[in-house]
Amino acid sequence: MKKKGTIAILTGGGDVPGLNPAIRAVTIRALREGYEVIGLRRGWAGITEMVRDKKYDNSNNFIHLSEEVVNRAGRTGGTFLHSSRTRPSHMPKSAVPDQYRDTYAAEVNDLTPEIIKNLEWLGVEYLIPIGGDDTLSYGVRLYSEGFKVVAIPKTMDNDVPGTDYCIGFSTCVSRTIHLVNTLRTSAGSHERILVIEVFGRYAGFTAMLPTMAGAAHRCVIPEHKFNIDRLTELLVQDRNHNPSKYSICLISEGATFDGVENMSLLDSELDMFGHAKLGGIGLTVGNLIKERTAKYNNGQRINVINQNLGYLVRGGDPDALDSIVPMAFGNLALDLILKGIHGRLVILKNGRYDNAPLDVVTATKKFVDIDKHYNIDRLRPKYNAFDFKPLLIMTGD
C-alpha cells in the first residue's frame, strides 16, 4: 500500500490506565489506512530533545510503531511511550538540550520553532497528543503556529474542558471505591474516622463520584472552602449513627478550608506548567478532626485513620470504560484525519462521541458545579433530580 503520510502520537502528564489502548487504536487504524505511525517518547520531551541527524541515535526520543508493538501493550495500564511534564514553550535554561544552547540562552526559552522543524524532519503531517489541559495547551500552541493537531483528552481528574469524559477517570473512580471498601474494615474494627486523600487539584470529580456511589459519607473538594468544625461535627454524627461505628471522608488534594489561602504542598518546586506537587491536606485535616472530635462526642476523642490513595488509583490495568473509550477516541481522531480535519479535540458529550475546537482546552476551565451538584452545608453530593442527567451525573458545564 502506498504510504499516505506520517502521524505522530505522544502521551504527556500523569499516567492513567487507558493510554496504551488509545495508542493501540490510533496505530492500528492508521496503519490499515496506509499511514506510518511514530510514537514520540516522554511526552513533549522526546520531540524537544531529538537531534536532526540520521546518524544520531534517537531511539530514546521516538519509535516507529507497528501492530505487534501496540498489541502487546494495548491491554495494559500506563503508557509504554512514557511521559513527562515538559513544556517546550517555557523551557528553563538548565533544561535546554545541548544542540540548542547557543541559540536559546535566556532563563526561560520558547523552543517551538525547533519543535516544528523536528516534526517536519520526521515527515510528520498530523500530531495526536494525548493528555490533560497542560499537555494539550501546548498542542493548541502548535496548532496556532500552523501544525495539524488532533487531540485526545486524558486525566484522572476529568477536568479537561469541552468533554464530559477523559481517559483514566473511570478506573480512578473504580479503584477509589475498591480501596475505600478495603480500608473501611479497619475503620470499623477500631471505631475510627477514615480520612482519605484523593487526586483533584482544581476539580473535585474524583471525590464526588465515589462519594455519590456510596464509598464515603462526606467529601470536600477544591471548589468550596469548607469549615473544619462542621466537617468534624458531621463525621462524628455519621460515625455514631453507624452500627459499625466508623465514618469516611474523601478529600481532594486541592481542597482548602476556612482560614487557609493556599493548597497543601509536598514541596515548593514548580514544574514547567507552574504547578507545585500537591499532597498532605488529608493528614492535616485528619489531625484537626481528631483534635476536635471530643467537642462533638461527649468529651471523648475519636481516633482517625489517614490514607493517601495516590498512585494506587492511576496504576494497573484499565477498567471496561477505560478500555472502550480510548478505542473510540483513537478511531475518532483517525476519522478526522482521513477527512483532512484538524485543530479538534475528540470528546464524549451528552452520551455521544463528537469533536470540539481544540482551543476549548485553553479557553475555559472545568469544575464541579456546586450549585447543581454539591451540598455545601452537608459536605456531600446532592441526590436529587436525576432525570436526563448524563451517565456520570456531573459534567462541569
Rounded-to-integer distance, Cα 37 and Cα 60, Å = 16
Contact by Cβ (8 Å): 236, 291: no
| Angle value at C-alpha 123, between 120 and 128, nearest 5 degrees | 85
Give whole-number Cα distances, 15 to 19, 84, 93, 155, in Å: 8, 9, 26, 8
The residues that are catalytic are 157
Alpha helices in 50-202 (DSSP H): 67-73, 112-121, 133-144, 169-190
Q: Provide CB contacts within 8 A for 214, sequence distance 6+.
A: none
C-alpha cell at 97: 538540550
Contact by Cβ (8 Å): 153, 135: no
Coil, helix or strand at residue 274: coil
DSSP for residue 124: E
Question: Which value, in Å, is the radius of gyration of the alpha carbons in the chain?
Answer: 23
